[in-house]
Amino acid sequence: EPLRPGRAVACMRPKDMCEAFLEYVEAEMGRLHEQCRTGADRAQDLQRQVDEGEARVRALEQEVAELKDGWDREARKVARLHEDLREAVEGQRGTEQLQGEAAYAKNVAREHAAAVERAGQQLEGLHRTLAVFLDLRSARRSPRGLGKPRASVTRVTHFEGLGKGRDVPLLLRYEGQLKNLRWGKAEAGACLGEFWRQREEAPGMKEGLQKHFRKFIAARHGAGKASAQAIYSLNDALTHFGDTDCEYLIVQR
């Protein structure tokens, strides 16, 4: 029987006791070897688990690094998008500002064009007035004055007004019948001479030549029909005596 702890050995022979002890030691060594083998296997399993855990940790760290890189890339994209959006907003504001400036420039150009057109019309009127002025000045200062009566011109006793249309000269706008006063050369010349003296005595006058002449005739002969009658009669006298320069004052539109 193998030697075990607590077994009585007093009655055993030394040889038996040694054999029993050797058997006991071998059994213990076998058990310890088995435990060592089991522990080694367990240690290998644990080492394998540790290695797998470390590999998993490294994989997770790699994934985290990749995710961080992806996040950084997306953050840079978002930053670029924000910058593009800011530039687009500023560009839109700039476009709106440019559109506003262009609209303002168009309005200014339109106003300038209208002003230029008005100035052109005024200049054209001044040219016409200057032409009449020069014609009347030349006619008034001409030594011959009004010419001789034209034999081919027959003087009527009454005039039929030309109406009040826009195509009718300003001084001849009248509807109805008017009597011909049959002015002579002296009367027509005196009328024009007096008008011209008044015009020269007021160098700063801004009123147009025809409007001034109409007021002059109204003050001299009366307003309304009397004024129209005097103007038609003066026009007839100018036509009869051949003064086309002064006649232009009346018939211009």
pLDDT in the model for residue 243: 58
Q: Are strands 158-160 and 177-179 parallel, antiparallel or unpaired?
A: antiparallel
In percent, the amount of the chain with pLDDT more than 70 equals: 76
pLDDT tens-digit series, residues 122-175: 666 555 555 554 544 444 444 334 555 555 567 888 999 999 888 888 888 899
pLDDT tens-digit series, residues 25-50: 888 888 888 888 888 888 888 888 88
pLDDT in the model for residue 178: 93
pLDDT in the model for residue 229: 92
Q: 50: which 2 tokens? A: 């540790």
182 sits in the region (left: phi over 0; alpha: psi -120 to 50; else beta) called: left
CB 177 within 8 Å of CB 163: no
Please count the CA atoms within 13 angstroms of the CA of 53 that sit on its side-chain side.
Answer: 6
**CA 148 remoteness from chain centre:** 66
Q: 224: which 2 tokens? A: 């309304």
pLDDT in the model for residue 144: 39
Rounded to whole angstroms, the Cα distance separating 219 from 88 reads 73
The full DSSP string for 213-231 is HHHHHHHHH-STHHHHHHH
Rounded to whole angstroms, the Cα distance separating 142 from 83 reads 85
CB 236 within 8 Å of CB 185: no
Rounded to whole angstroms, the Cα distance separating 158 from 232 reads 10
Q: 5: which 2 tokens? A: 């702890």
Nearest 5°: the CA angle 117, 123, 129 is 140
- 108 pLDDT more than 60: yes
Residues composing the chain: 253
Rounded to whole angstroms, the Cα distance separating 50 from 44 reads 10
- 83 pLDDT more than 70: yes
State the Cα torsion 213-215-218-220 to the nearest 10°. Answer: -70
Give the mean pLDDT of 229-235: 90
Burial 201-232 (b: 16+ CB within 10 A, else e): eeeeeeeebbebbbebbbeebeeeeebbbbbb
pLDDT in the model for residue 97: 80
| Residue whose token pair is 């109204």 | 218
pLDDT in the model for residue 131: 52
**CA 67 remoteness from chain centre:** 49
Q: For every residue of 137-148, which 3-state class applies, written as one string?
A: HHHHHCCCCCCC
| Residue whose token pair is 């019309």 | 121
- 208 pLDDT more than 90: no
